[in-house]
Amino acid sequence: MTERTLNAEVVIMTSFQDADPMGVIYHGNYFRYFEEARRVMMEKIDYGYLAMSASGYMWPIIDTAVRYVKPIQFNQEIRVTATLTEYENRLRTDYVIYDAESGKRLTKGHTTQVAVSIAEQEMCFVSPKALTDRLEAYFNAA
């Protein structure tokens, strides 16, 4: 049986400019970390931002959530995972951030994106073939 999972992982060393005066990473930066893992995940199927645009679609985020389990500190190496959990009608990506050294979970969250036709400026209620064909090819090759 073919596994139908698309995921990615990135390792990031947190930066000084991402931290507040107490050395804790500002909560808004967690979305940048999610974004980097999602970018790497989508590149696996050759559907990064340039390919999305070239296919005639943009994919805005319409919903997001994050659960802060433990604070992330300045100069902390973190491991961020992204897993595509829905794609037929929308893209839902689940994320987990771990401390790279201990493996302890620090944060989890998700984002939901929908396809919007660039030409018509209208939301699609089904994911376009530009995405689903790439996913099917990836899953079949796995």
Q: What is the pTM of this model?
A: 0.94
Q: In the predicted model, is pLDDT for residue 3 greater than 90?
A: no
Average pLDDT, the chain: 96
Please choose, from the candidates 134, 126, 138, 113, the residue with its C-alpha nearest in 3D space to the C-alpha of residue 58: 113
- pLDDT tens by residue, 27-85: 999 999 999 999 999 999 999 999 999 999 999 999 999 999 999 999 999 999 999 99
Average pLDDT value for residue range 12-25? 96
The answer for residues whose C-beta is within 8 angstroms of residue 122's C-beta and 6 or more apart is 116
Q: What is the pLDDT of residue 1?
A: 44
